Amino acid sequence: MPNHLWYFGAGNGEFLSKFTIDSYKSVSLLECNPLNCDVLKFKFNDNLNVQVENIVIGPENNKSTIYYFMNEHLDGLCEFPSIISSFPNAKVYQTKLSDVVAFNDYKGFDNYISRDGNVLVLDVGDVGDSIIENISFDVLDKVEWLVWVRPVARSRDDQFLKCLKILKENALIITQKFSQSLYDVYYFKFSQDRKNIDNLSKGVSILLSEKANRETIVYKLKAELQKKDAIIQKLSYELNESQESLDKMSSLLLNIEKDRDLVCELKVKLLEKNKSIQECFEKLKEKDNSLSKLSLKLEQSLALIEQYKIDLDKKSNLLLKLEEMYDLKESEKIKLQIDIEYLRRKLSYIN
């Protein structure tokens, strides 16, 4: 048994029969014309399961001028201005500035827990196209069947095809139940899995986005890796040059070590020579001292020689005087000669 019926654009109830109404546990008749609402309340006064609500529904919240008019087909019908051109004999008898409630903001869906058997009839003329174009299917989570009543006067234009595409993408089943002279009626059934499919689709989109992001990251990482490879190659080349420089420096260092050892050896030899020089200097100093002593002795000897010379001269003079003055005895003369000879030899020795 059908559960609940929402009928947007119920009009004066011409398309409703008591049998249809009685087949639902509860019914919400939504109509923008207050005169039609009075007619509906009169017709279904004895049906406690029927609620009549005077509401102007549209694609968005705003204020709009509502035209109430009558024609030979549908007395008391209320529509927006664009539909009036479809009824040449229609006569507008009243206008009213009313608040328009966005379909997506309608709170009547929140009163029901289960969605099974719930039916939504959208019979609001060309306004239905704008509603479907902006419809949020999360609002329809409590709806199993959507019945779209569309005026035939609105031929199958681009807007109709766009709306039909939107509903097909979100509905499980679509059937064109019947057509009549003024209206085409389309039935759409929504599956409970639609939301899961939507979530899955969103999840797939997220995964694809993440995959694209990861591919972008991988591409960036590859680019950075190539840059780092180039840097590594450059560093490797510089490292090889550094290694060659290091080898040269090592060779120079080895030569320096050898030179240092040679310098150490030369230093040791120099120290030894310095020691030898010092010893020679000490010996020279000693020799200088000895020479000084010898010089002093020489001076003394020279002084003594001078003294001997003086003595010799004196004795020679004395001898001459003696030879002149006296006739010396031969023995004394010989003795004197011996003395003189002795003094001469001694003097020769000293010299």
pLDDT digits (tens, 9 = 90+) for 95-113: 666 788 999 999 888 877 7
Residue 30 confidence (pLDDT) = 93
Are 82 and 124 in contact by the 8 Å Cβ rule? The answer is: no
From 12, 67, 6, 72, select the one nearest 39 (Cα to Cα).
12
Count CB-CB contacts under 10 A for residue 182: 13
Residue 177 confidence (pLDDT) = 57
Q: Tokens representing 36?
A: 């039609």
* Average pLDDT rounded to a whole number, residues 315-336: 72
Would you list the DSSP string of 218-248? HHHHHHHHHHHHHHHHHHHHHHHHHHHHHHH
Of 72-86, 181-195, 307-321, which one has max mean pLDDT?
A: 307-321
C-alpha–C-alpha distance, residues 167 and 304, integer Å = 158
Residue 62 CA to its chain's centroid (Å): 47
From 110, 103, 74, select the one nearest 91 (Cα to Cα).
74
Residue 93 confidence (pLDDT) = 55
C-alpha–C-alpha distance, residues 134 and 163, integer Å = 10
Confidence tier at 8 by pLDDT (50, 70, 90): very high
- List, edge to edge, every strand of the sheet that includes 119-122: 50-54, 26-31, 4-8, 119-122, 145-151, 183-189, 173-179
Burial of 260 (0-12, 13-18, 19+ CB in 10 A): exposed
Check whether 80 has a pLDDT greater than 80. no
Given CA atoms 320, 321, 324, 325 in this order, what sign does their dihedral have? negative
Q: How many H helices and E strands in the chain?
A: 7, 11
Q: Tokens representing 196?
A: 């899961």
Encode 110-178 in three state secondary structure: HHCCCCCCCEEEECCCCHHHHHHHCCCCCHHHHCCEEEEEEECCCCCCHHHHHHHHHHHHHCCEEEEEE
Are 64 and 58 in contact by the 8 Å Cβ rule? The answer is: yes
Check whether 89 has a pLDDT greater than 80. no
Residue 108 confidence (pLDDT) = 87
Per-residue exposure over 71-93, b if at least 16 CB sit within 10 Å of its own CB, e if not: eeebebbbbbeebbebbeebeee
Check whether 149 has a pLDDT greater than 70. yes
Count CB-CB contacts under 10 A for residue 15: 16
C-alpha–C-alpha distance, residues 69 and 9, integer Å = 15
Residue 91 confidence (pLDDT) = 59
Confidence tier at 281 by pLDDT (50, 70, 90): confident
Residue 171 confidence (pLDDT) = 74
Residues 6+ apart with CB under 8 A from 158: none
* Average pLDDT rounded to a whole number, residues 229-255: 83
Are 187 and 167 in contact by the 8 Å Cβ rule? The answer is: no
Confidence tier at 72 by pLDDT (50, 70, 90): very low
Check whether 7 has a pLDDT greater than 90. yes
User: pLDDT per residue over 259-273, tens digit each?
Assistant: 888 888 888 888 888
Tokens 């979100």 belong to residue: 170
Residue 267 confidence (pLDDT) = 86
Of 13-27, 169-183, 211-225, 266-280, which one has max mean pLDDT?
A: 266-280
Check whether 75 has a pLDDT greater than 50. no
Count CB-CB contacts under 10 A for residue 305: 16
